[in-house]
Structure 1
Amino acid sequence: MSNTATRNERSHVTHPPSAEPSLPPPPKLRRRPALIAAAIVAVCLGALLGGWAWTATTNTQEVLAARADIERGSIIEAGDLARVRVNSDPALSPVGAGSLESVVGQRAAIDIASGSLLTPSSYADSVVPAVNMSVVGVALTSSQAPGMDLQTGDRVRVVATPAEGSEVSAETPSFSDAEVVNVRVSDDTGQLVVDLLVPHAGAAALAAQIATGNVAIVLDSRAR
């Protein structure tokens, strides 16, 4: 009897519910250094490009350029010019687009090629030489030029001097009045070369006298 009761008790023993199956751990994220580096590089490049774009747009200026070839001495018209935007450069001195109205009507002082930027020296109120005037060049040694440096605009006299070996005449030497329009030093001879503005009528005779080498330059007063 007791054995039977014991078996019955065992048969009625309740077992605790089994524990729920455990969830698998979340997958570990793998870091990819190459992708991280690429992202950093992309961000840096974007910042650099943004800075370059900002600099490029803020350091530009609108200037005047020639639409077509403009010959020296011709009157500059509005249709000859175009407004262009270029990067600012301290080495350049282009004419700003705001000066368009003051440039129109001026004369080209030099030959201006199509597409080139205008500078203050590209145009002038008048052309040299003007009508009925001529420019004659003279190469001078130190004994033929004044001790003071000649400058554009100086008024001078070109004096005819005696030929070497000839006697000095007691008469006042002949001379021609002129105005200095340019001064430079010859790369070939090292001589001072002066371009003189003279009346057209006397240019040929003066050029012939200069060709002999028997001339000297006298600087007159700079007072105006």
Structure 2
Amino acid sequence: MTTHTAPADAGRPTGRPVPRPRPVSPPRTRRRPALLALGVALVVVSALGAAALFTAFSGTERVLVVVSAVDAGQPVPAGALAVTDATVTPDLAVVPAGELDAVVGATALVPLLAGQLLSPDAVGEGPAVPGDGRSVVGLPLSRTQLPATGVQAGDTVLVVDTPQAGGDPPSGVPAAIEATVLRVAVDDVDPSLVVVDVVAPVDDARRLAARAGTGRIHVVLTDGVALQRAD
């Protein structure tokens, strides 16, 4: 008895292609327009908030800057100031550019240095120099009679009596007169000679003038811009 095995293609329709299985696509996630819009709005609000904070704490303004030094007690000339754009923080006091006309002619209450932004407290209706009961006296000094750091307008100094050249130092504390530096100028003929104008009460100014004539004085810097610069 002979057994016949059916061929592998048995039972399939002849002449027709075998269908291939279709790939299954992942399920689509439905996007909710409302949530998408809310996300975009939050991003925009965050960006605007950061910009507002930056502007509040650091903004660029047109302000006044000192371009030419002005001694304390002197009127501020128009040429000493200019307008500039500067980044201003809340803790920085400045004078807006629009107040230029009001500042010109005002009194410099402290020395104004070239390059610094003008502060509202630096100018005002201060007393004219030298002021009531005070006088200005010029002290002709060699550079060895001054600190190596120098002195400048606004500094507080002590003008100290010194002994004669080659003499013994005093046994006690030498006499001294306190004064405020008004102006410093180098002699045009002799550059080693510096003339320091100081302001002091009238009686002290007379004593300073008499002592300056002897040449036996030395200027000691006690407080002021020059001392801070040296530190």
Q: TM-score, normalised by structure 2?
A: 0.45
The structure with the largest alpha-carbon Rg is: 1
